[in-house]
Amino acid sequence: MGKKFVGEPIPRVEDHRLITGRSQYVDDIVRPRMVYAAILRSIYAHARLKAVNVEKARQAPGVIAVFTGADVREAIGPVPVASRLPDLKIPKHPVLALEKVHYVGEPIAVVVAGDRYLARDAVDMIEVEYEPLEAVVDPERAIAEGAPIVHEEFGTNVAFVWRLSGGDIERAFREADVVVSQRMVNQRLIPVAMEPRGVVAEYLPGEGQLTVWTSTQIPHLLRTQLATMLGLAENRLRVIAPEVGGGFGSKLNVYAEEALVGYLAMRLGRPVKWIETRRENFLSTTHGRGQIAEVEAAVKRDGTVLGLRYKIIQDLGAYHQLLTPAIPTLTGLMATGPYKIPNLHVQIVGAFTNKMATDAYRGAGRPEATYWLERMMDRIAGELGLDPVQVRMRNFPQPEEFPFPTASGLAYDSGNYHQALRRAMELVGYEKLRQEQQQLRQQGRYLGIGISTYVEICALGPSPALPAGGWESATVRVEPTGKVTVLTGASPHGQGQETAFAQIVADELGVELADVRVIHGDTAIVQYGIGTFGSRATAVGGTAVYGALQKVKEKATHLAAHLLGEENVANVAFEDGHFFLKDNPERRMTFHEVALAAYLAKNLPPGVEPGLEATYFFEPSNFTFPFGAHIAVVEVDPETGDVQFRRYVAVDDCGRVLNPLLVDGQVHGGIVQSLGQALLEEAVYDESGQLVTGELTEYAIPKATDVPWLETDRTETPSPVNPLGIKGVGEAGTIAATPAIVNAVLDALAPFGVQHLDMPLRPEKIWRAIRGA
């Protein structure tokens, strides 16, 4: 069959509405008689609520209603957590605070008014009497003796201790020539999707149906959870993810406001809109990362790593959001990275603190793993006097060793790690750069070359490994006119699956891209699905589309054989939109004709149902494991500590590529978020638990002027896990780039004897390190 679309850099089909300003995000939705909600949030990180007086607010102009925690505690169930670790402590998480507040930004009361200005005014009229309590902000302090307790009922801030072992770690350390150890911090980050969260809810009492439009990555999972929280039948609840302005994991959740606004719509009998401000977004949308690790490596003199021991503390924040405790376990699973390291021990302690919850943020646990290990590889190289490349090459598994079993219990699907690193070195001119580095050092200039080789766990994932199923669904519906509608359970919000899936359909059915429409994000239209996260939408969701297409093609072929008067279905071929007899190609029908015949149903084979559509639920047999090598080249100004990029080279292998434009876009965006973590970003709470970086004026995400030109290239090792060979690419850049950049800066600082600095590597920190050297 002539393939026209898969593999080509096709401009996106979803773009027209976005570049003309005609797409619909939550705040663009207006319903008749709609009213506006605004939320009063805690100004203390830890306090008892003595009184919440809403009388003045109730009397304020335009105000329709005001509710506190006490008003809604019976009506709305707790905010859920889906991860189940052994002995996990799960605090009660009401949608509006009851006796205590546990972090700055925790919702206390909600005002509903006729317009958003009046709702905001009335928030200022609510009087809260707090009894401030000592807050605990630092996760290490939180689990030490005598710390203030976030949730008194537990008597401890330790929410869980999770361990993972493989091989014989004690033996590895006995047999080591050298032990290299390093304490490192992977700082708390704020995702900052450009569209803050927002919810519109409308209740139709006649039908008993609640519709919730919300900026989410997981409309179906959210529907199930909201139904429970609100005591509604799941088939009376419709969740719609309209255009979603970025998520990065921060909208892979079930938030208090989603249930609260739904409740308000039912209670007040009017549509209600709530739109998060950026300040609220900083305070009360999930944060990411927030790990502290002590890592020890047992190493032979030649650079062979025998074993790794990790002691990790995860800063959880005050409550569990949907996947809070599960995220660091991904760090554990990926703790041996792209290397043959047979012995592993990981211990992760989850610590409650008086801060917003951490949860998935692009990469979700894997950037931490890659950062720990890639920093360690450079530390090992430094200790042993080896080139960082040498240490990595020595520990890679060979291509023929795949599927490659890890000490953490995974089986990497396919890979050629040497090839990716060699390609990156070739592109950047590694040997020449090392010479230049030497020459520049003579002149007092400090060039740094940083390498990161990574493998990530993607296409999440087999259902047993995920709290709520790891499959994905698709329906392919061929309309009577031959147009094709795809309903996907994935919920893309920028990744471009409307295009990627249309490419698959167009090639498989021989139709044009314009004939295909991909619909997602509406639980009343689309069959149950899981959603978009974990670099899964194309690898798992795309495979579901492919599976549904095979079913459609099979039926259409059967029907075409019948219509062509051919008894042997195997003699019917389908190419370029035509069915024909292999031994008599003149006997042919168009795909459109067959589609129409399926609906007219005048002449169907016996036992064949009318219509032409199929639904396929794809359950992957394994995760996929994309990999690659990134090299950053920087120069450090020794006088100011300023870091300037010279080059950035990325070689990624995400399996088979459906659309190189989309893949490049994902890689670029990921690298730049990573650059943010390496150099700029950090969620800073002061000792009393106030978020100091609570606005874009204080929390720096990368601007166009902070970013170097990115040179990207690929190797292509198909995954055997799905028929399209796709691995996934949504998070690769975010996972790979952070350590590449940090390694580059520390390589530049090597002449000063600086072995490690914690991120973000702001100029002052570098300047101090140089000065202290």
Between residue 99 and residue 138, which ones bind other proteins under the rule CB under 8 A? 116-117, 120-121, 124
Q: What's the CA gap between 634 and 741, in Å, rounded?
A: 8
Q: How far is the CB of 393 from other proteins (least distance, A)?
A: 29
Q: Choose between 20 and 603: whose C-beta lies nearer to other proteins.
A: 20
Runs of H (alpha helix) within 516-618: 543-563, 591-600
Under 8 Å between Cβ of 743 and 452: yes
Q: Which of 495, 103, 70 has its CA nearest to residue 280?
A: 103
The residue with tokens 């009851």 is 98
User: Which residues within the stretch 710-739 sit at the binding site for other proteins (CB under 8 A)?
Assistant: 710, 733
Binding mask 152-181 for other proteins (x = CB under 8 A): ------------------------------
Q: Which two tokens stand for residue 625?
A: 């494991």
Under 8 Å between Cβ of 265 and 202: yes
Q: What's the CA gap between 649 and 426, in Å, rounded?
A: 10
Q: Which two tokens stand for residue 49?
A: 């609520």
How many residues would you count in the chain? 773
List the one residue from 569, 604, 700, 750 that touches other proteins (CB under 8 A): 700
Instruction: Supply the DSSP symbol for 356.
Output: P
List the one residue from 43, 149, 468, 680 that touches other proteins (CB under 8 A): 680
User: Which residues within the stretch 598-657 sit at the binding site for other proteins (CB under 8 A)?
Assistant: 639-640
Contacts of 188 by beta carbon, 8 Å cutoff, 6+ apart:
287, 288, 289, 290, 315, 355, 358, 682, 683
Q: Which of 39, 26, 113, 114 has its CA nearest to residue 69?
A: 39
Amino acid at 724: L
Q: How far is the CB of 704 from other proteins (least distance, A)?
A: 4
CA dihedral sign, ordered 611, 613, 617, 622 = positive
Binding mask 229-268 for other proteins (x = CB under 8 A): --------------xxxx-x--------------------
Binding segment for other proteins (CB under 8 A), chosen from 193-201, 391-399, 468-476, 608-616, is: 193-201
Q: Choose between 277 and 463: whose C-beta lies nearer to other proteins.
A: 277
User: Which residues within the stretch 270-309 sit at the binding site for other proteins (CB under 8 A)?
Assistant: 277-279
Q: What's the CA gap between 452 and 632, in Å, rounded?
A: 9
Q: Choose between 84 and 768: whose C-beta lies nearer to other proteins.
A: 768
Q: Which two tokens stand for residue 374?
A: 């890639």
CA 528 to chain centre: 20
List C-alpha distances in Å: 435 to 452, 512, 749: 20, 53, 16
List the one residue from 253, 437, 452, 495 that touches other proteins (CB under 8 A): 495
- Phi/psi for 316 (5° steps) reads -85, -25
Q: How far is the CB of 143 from other proteins (least distance, A)?
A: 26
List the one residue from 569, 701, 750, 754 that touches other proteins (CB under 8 A): 701
Q: Choose between 364 and 552: whose C-beta lies nearer to other proteins.
A: 364
Q: What's the CA gap between 62 and 583, in Å, rounded?
A: 77
Binding mask 732-771 for other proteins (x = CB under 8 A): -x----------------------------xxx--xx---
Q: How far is the CB of 697 from other proteins (least distance, A)?
A: 4
Q: How far is the CB of 531 from other proteins (least distance, A)?
A: 15
List the one residue from 2, 586, 705, 772 that touches other proteins (CB under 8 A): 705
Q: How far is the CB of 138 from other proteins (least distance, A)?
A: 17
Binding segment for other proteins (CB under 8 A), chosen from 200-208, 308-316, 331-339, 489-497, is: 489-497
Binding segment for other proteins (CB under 8 A), chosen from 44-52, 420-428, 551-559, 661-669, is: 661-669
Task: Indicate whether 669 belongs to the interface with other proteins (CB under 8 A).
Answer: yes
CA atoms within 13 A on the CB side of 78: 12
List the one residue from 35, 57, 189, 193 that touches other proteins (CB under 8 A): 193
Binding segment for other proteins (CB under 8 A), chosen from 73-81, 453-461, 487-495, 744-752, is: 487-495
Q: Choose between 450 and 669: whose C-beta lies nearer to other proteins.
A: 669
User: Which residues within the stretch 8-37 sit at the binding site for other proteins (CB under 8 A)?
Assistant: 11-12, 15-16, 18-25, 27-28, 30
Binding segment for other proteins (CB under 8 A), chosen from 147-155, 321-329, 433-441, 693-701, is: 693-701
List the one residue from 135, 192, 240, 241 that touches other proteins (CB under 8 A): 192
Binding segment for other proteins (CB under 8 A), chosen from 71-79, 309-317, 492-500, 624-632, is: 492-500
Q: Choose between 440 and 680: whose C-beta lies nearer to other proteins.
A: 680
Q: What's the CA gap between 459 and 730, in Å, rounded?
A: 10
Q: How far is the CB of 20 from other proteins (least distance, A)?
A: 6
What one-character-per-residue DSSP string does 245-311 give?
---TTTTSS--HHHHHHHHHHHHHTS-EEEE--HHHHHHHS-BEEEEEEEEEEEE-TTS-EEEEEEE
User: Which residues within the stretch 517-576 sit at the binding site for other proteins (CB under 8 A)?
Assistant: none
Q: Which of 335, 5, 344, 339 has its CA nearest to residue 171?
A: 344
List the one residue from 345, 579, 699, 743 that touches other proteins (CB under 8 A): 699
Q: Decide: helix, strand or coil at residue 622.
A: coil
Q: Which of 600, 602, 601, 563 has its CA nearest to residue 579?
A: 563
Binding mask 51-90 for other proteins (x = CB under 8 A): ----------------------------------------
What one-character-per-residue DSSP string does 176-213 give?
-SEEEEEEEEEEEE----SSPPEEEEEEETTTTEEEEE
Q: Can you state the angle between helices 591-600 and 543-563, rounded to 10 degrees?
A: 80
